[in-house]
Structures are given as structure tokens and as C-alpha cells.
Chains A and B, each alone.
Chain A
Amino acid sequence: MRRSRFYPLWILIIASFAASGCWDAKDIDRRTFVMGVAFDLSDTEDQLVMTIEVPVLTSFATQTHRIADTRAFVAATTGTSVAQMAARIETRTWREMFFGHTQCIILGEDLARESILPIIDFFDRNPRIDRRLALFVAQGKADEVLHIKNPLQPLVSVHLNQILNTLTNTTRVVKRNFQDNLRDLESNGDTVLPRVRSTDTELTIAGGALIKDYKFIAWLGENETRAVAFLYNRISGGVLTVNLEDILYTYAIRSASTDIKPVLKDGQLTFRINVKTEGEIIEAFYRGPGGAIEFDIPGIQSKLNQEITDEILHLLTKLQDLRTDPIGFDRLVYRHYPKFWNQHKENWKEQAWPQAKFEVTADFNIRRTGILKEVTIYERQG
């Protein structure tokens, strides 16, 4: 047979491969799964502190094999670059650092104020990184976040990651992952990152950190964050409560979309922003004596529209004041008015952006009011 002569060659080549070793083989239990990384500024000049959260593998085994009860191990080291610190910390975990399952990166406030670039570059470059990981900014020190113990989810990093990737009903943070952030940052250096705060025993995940030119400049409150989420078109759910004539209505968003259109007229740049949501009333009760008990759907809708419009306008003014454009209005201008953009691209954030005007409209649609058709009444005593 014609192939027969080459079988020895085959064997030779495979044998030589086997003899020289399996260069990249490293079993799963010989790697340190870095689930979360926190970065802070060190007290020493130009030094960073890296804190990693590593699951204690034996605690994840089935009941019979479980040896350890502590589920997470936290270690820290100092250094000047991420890779350097990762290499240093390997001596403490005895296994090779593995970032393939990293769930979140937490940046300390001080560090973020200097620049986030040196940190994210390492992760942006690494092909093994899951680009859906969560990038948080911690109010205060970042390493404290990793030390919080939550009985429901022993790994803080997984907890943080799941909030961004699976929760649909919260608008406390903007649900955008690392990839989304990179997209913003690489376009103009501005973005909004979610904020995490640690008290003694608990985590508070709410609000956002405004990043301008890779530097943290200001915190955003919860309502501002919601406005940012609307502008990013990242609202998948959430609830809004409005008070109309002493009746508290809670509106649940079932779907939302935001449409932003730049309009250039006589050299004046205007952005037409239209927020459209659909949803239902999931709670409505009457508080205090007197007043209507029938639903006033148009009334509630206009009240909701008003609130959101105000929120968004408030946020946009703040962004203009801070000369920052995390939403990427510049990209819209570039797409639709390339000539205008070419004139202003050098000083977009400083001049053209603060002068832009906005027409914000909101269109809330209440489709249902739950099973009940009327507002629940309860008499307040006294």
C-alpha cells in the first residue's frame, strides 16, 4: 500500500513530540483560579497592591471529600504592574495563576483617580480573559470588598459578576460588562463603571463611577445611574415609584428602548432623545383620606414621563458640566455629521459637547394593572 512507507515516519514524529513533552498541558487542579482581583494604590510611591480572591478547591468538593470549610482565600501583594504582581503572588498560592475564569476586577477609588489604564491593559491584552467580566470601582479601598463574607455566595467576585450579568430588575447599577466598557474607553476614554461599597459586613452595589480619559472624576447616584442606563439602552427591567395625588404607583418596566438622534441645524447641535418603555402597574395604593380610587392611566404615564425626562436632563447637564461624554454622543455625531465632527473632533469634550442641546421625550406605556382593576384603599388611622 502506498501509505505504508510513511508509517515509521509517523511514529517517529509522534514519538519525538511525546518525548519532548506536553508543553502546555497543565491540569485544572494545578491552576489557581483567580476569581476576582482588586487593585489599590500602595502607601509607597508608584506601587500598586493587588488582592486576589481564590476559591479553596477542597471546599467545593462533594460532601464526602470536603476538607476545608473556608471557601475563599484572599491574598495580596505589591508591585508596579499587574503581570509582575501576578508572578509574585504565585509563590503564595503554589499554583500557576489562571485568569480564564476571572469574574470581576475591582478598582480602588484612589487608583481610579490616577488612571485605570495600567490595570485594564493587562486584561484587554490577555486572550484568555472572559470579556464578560465585571469591572467595578470601589468607594474606598478595593481589597476590603473581597474580604466581605456573604453566606449566600461565598465568592464575592461571583456575586458581583452575577449582578451585572443575570439580574434583570435592578437599575441601581448600569449593567455593562468589561467588553462594553472597553468599547467606550477605546472610543473616547470615558465611561461609567458600576460602584461597589463595603461596610463592615455588607456590600452595597449601587451607583456609578464616572470615568473621564481613563480617570475617575465623580460618583453618580442611583437615579443618575438609572438615567445613564436609559441612555445606554441597557434597561431590561426595574421599577419606578411615582406619587400622583397621594396614590403611590409602582411601575415595572418590562421592556425599554432609547433612541438618540443628533440634529444639526444652523450650527447648533441638538440631540433628540426618546425613551420608550412598556410595563405595568404592580403596586398601587391609596394613602390618606379622600382622593380618586380609579386608575388615571394617562396621568400616571405623564408623571412617569416627566420624572424620567427630568432625570435624564439632569444627568446630561452634569455630564456637560464635567466635560465628559461616556454615552458616546461623539460617535453619533461622527456617524451622521462627519463634516461637523471633523471640525470639532479636537475639542469635542471641551467645547462642542457642552454647547449641545437636548430634546428629551419619554413615552411610558402602562399595559396592565395587575389582577386588580382598582387602587387598593386603606384608611390611615388618625
Chain B
Amino acid sequence: MSARDKLLTQEVPVIIINMIYGIGTITLPSLLARSAGPDGIIAYLAAVAVYIIGTVLIILLVQRFPNHGLADYSPMLLGTVPGFAVNLLFTLYLIFLVSAVMRAFAEVTKFFLLPRTPIEAIMLSMLFTTSILARNGLQPIARACQIILYVFFIPFLVIPLFVSVFDTGEFLPLFQEKPAVIAKAAYNSIFSLTGVEIMLVLGSHSENSKRLMRPALIGVAIVLTMILIAVVLAFGSLSVDQTAKLTDPLFEMIKYVPVPYSILERIDISFYTVWIAATYSTLVIGLFTASHHVAEIFKLDNGKGFVFPLAAVVYFLALIPKNENEVLAFNIMLGAAWLALTFGLVPLLLVLSKIRNPKGAKKQMQQPQKKNRKANP
């Protein structure tokens, strides 16, 4: 990665928003309504709290090693073999995450836009276009994401239209479900929020990787608010009952809203395109992060060469689930993996880094460099 190809500080939130906002947002309201009813909002807020703590932990770890990615310091802290295992698992996690997004995306696209087109064609075209951008480096990705981010805000322009159909009563009664049910709903919805862990790899390629906390939290806060607005609108305009029944409440609610002076009769379909862009950016960042992580494991400069092979792996993994239920179960497993990563591995690495070097991170920064030298004499 060239010196120029660094993430600007202002692009850190952009990348995070683009990574998180995507396929999960579409299914989240329905998932929440089904598992917790009106308390879905509470469940979401709980998930948000957990998520923000997770973000803080991840960024603390990133800031401790400002010049190194996970692939560099995990073998150093854990030992070569466990470190390699952790890196491998993290790569697998990223690939599975991308595959899950890919599959869910293909399902929805096939169902709503192209019922007769083979799912292979949808996935191949998407993977191919994303791979092309993922090969071009971090800066182009960040710029494309910046433009896609503007597109994200377009759906929010129609919020005023919801006033006529919005029913605040739908959020009542609150706190009717048992805490266990709410916790379960929050747990199920974590998958929809996964994404900030890419900073473990990309954090060190930021312009100012010692001060990532602020931009990362801004990004997470913006995207979580965007999703909250989407959930609230779905609950309020469609009713909780209907939200629970539908596979894609976000599109259905747009169908229902009367748009005055609209040139197009059904703006819901134009909103699919926004969401295609959202998935595109998620996949691009995911593929780039995975390939770059692999490159860092093998101490290579850039992961360009890994993009297409990884995309091929993603393609075959995404074809594995047989039906929608399996897709859902798979997603919930990914949520669990995220929790394990954020609240298992990351604190462990943080604690280890303190124990091994209580004076601070300065020496630690030098250690892997020495290792690098040994590795590449």
C-alpha cells in the first residue's frame, strides 16, 4: 500500500457507515418486531449500547498499535501458532460475513427485482464489480463510499411524508417482554450491525491512527441513528404486527406512503437501488479488508492479488445455505462470532499488550518491526 493510499481522518466514519449500513438494515425491523414486539426498540437500543462498548474496545486496541494491523500484533501477543490461528479465524469471519451479505442480497434482489434471473448471475455480477473496486486500493474505495453515502441520505428525504401515516401509539406498550426475550432479540440483531471490526485491519492505514476514537464513534453513531430512524419509521407506519410479518418492511413502508407529485408511481423500486449501492459498498470494504488482512498475514504490501480468489470463495460459500431460514441462522451465528471477537479476543489482546509492556505501547510498536526484518532479511 503506497503512502498516498491512506484513509483520511474524515473518511474513517464514511467507511464505517458504509460497512455497517446495508443488508442488515433491511431485515432488522422485521427481526426486532418478530422477536420482541414493540419492545424491539428497547432491544435495538440495548444492542446499540453493547455495540458502542464493542467499538470502544476495538478502537482502543487499534490505537495501541497505530502502525500495525491485527495480523502483525496478534502473533506477537499470543505466540506464533495461536496468533496465526486467530488471524485465520478472523479472515474466515470476514469471508463468512461477506458471503452472508452476498447471499442475503442475492435473495432479496431475486425476489423483488429479478425473479427469473439465476441467483448465480446476480451474485457473479455483484462480486465481479465489487472486486474491481476492491483491487483499486483504499483511497478509491473511500471516495466511492463518500459518494454512496450521499445517496444513503436520499431515502431520508421522504421522512416528512410519513407524518400522515405515522402512529406513535405503535410503540406502546413498552417493557412488556421479559428481559431475557429482549436480550435474545438484541442478540439476534447484532448481525445487522456488524462492521466496525474492519478497523482492526484498516485502522493502521488511517492518516492519524492514534486518534481514531472520535471519527469511529461519530461514524458508528451516525449509522446507528440512521438504522434507528428506519426501525422507528417501520414500526410507526406499518404497525408492529405487519413489520413482523414482512420480509422487507423498509420497502413496504415506502410503497404505502403517498408521494405527492411523484413522477414515478412506485418509488419503492427506486429505493432498492439505494440499497444495492449500500450492499455494494459493504461488499467492497469487506472484500478489501479480507484480502488486505491475508496480505498482512503473509507480510505482503497489498492484497490486490487476493481479491479475486477471495471473491470466488465468497461465491461458493454464499451458495451453501439452502433456504431463507438457513440464511437467517447463519447470520445469527455471525452475530455470535462478532460478540466473541469483540468481547473475547479484543479485550484479551488489550490485556496482553498491557501485561507484556506496562510502560506503554511505544516499545511494542518497535517489536513487530524487528520481526518484520527477521522475516524479510
Contact = CB atoms under 8 A, between A and B. Distances in A.
A24 B114 CA distance: 6
A130 interface: yes
B256 A179 contact: yes
A365 B266 CA distance: 38
* Most chain A CB neighbours (cut-off 10 Å) among B117, B118, B252: B117
B241 interface: yes
Contact of B258 (A132, A187, A336, A338): A132
A131 B132 contact: no
Contacts of B118: 23
B121 A127 contact: no
Binding site of A, secondary structure by majority: helix, strand, loop or mixed? Answer: helix
A122 interface: no
Nearest to B111: A127
B141 to A, nearest CB: 15
Interface string A8-42: 00100100010010011000000000000000000
Contacts of B252: 131
B162 to A, nearest CB: 13
A331 B117 contact: no
Contacts of B115: 24
B301 interface: no
Contacts of B9: none
B241 A186 contact: yes
A133 B266 CA distance: 12
A131 B121 contact: no
Given A23-B121, A127-B112, A332 B242 contact: no
Nearest to A182: B242
Contacts of A331: 169
A332 B169 CA distance: 8
Given A130-B255, A131-B252, A182-B242, A23 B173 contact: no
Contacts of A183: 238-239, 241-242
A186 to B, nearest CB: 5
* Most chain B CB neighbours (cut-off 10 Å) among A100, A187, A335: A335
A17 B239 contact: no
B116 A24 contact: yes
A215 B114 CA distance: 35
B116 A23 contact: yes
Contacts of A20: 121
Given A130-B255, A338-B173, A338-B176, A23 B242 contact: no
Interface in A97-136: 100, 127, 130-132
Contacts of A94: none
Interface in A324-362: 331-332, 334-336, 338
Contacts of A3: 132, 135-136
B221 to A, nearest CB: 30
A24 B118 CA distance: 10
B124 interface: yes
Given A23-B117, A130-B265, A183-B239, 9 more contacts: A3-B132, A23-B114, A23-B118, A132-B255, A183-B242, A186-B242, A335-B169, A335-B172, A338-B176
Interface of B: 111-118, 121, 124-125, 128, 132, 135-136, 169, 172-173, 176, 238-239, 241-242, 245, 252, 255-256, 258, 265-266, 304
Nearest 5 interchain pairs by C-beta: A335-B172, A338-B173, A23-B117, A23-B116, A24-B114
16 contacts: A2-B135, A3-B132, A3-B135, A3-B136, A13-B124, A13-B128, A24-B115, A127-B111, A127-B112, A131-B252, A179-B255, A183-B239, A186-B245, A334-B172, A334-B173, A335-B173
Interface of A: 2-3, 6, 10, 13, 17, 20, 23-24, 100, 127, 130-132, 179, 182-183, 186-187, 331-332, 334-336, 338
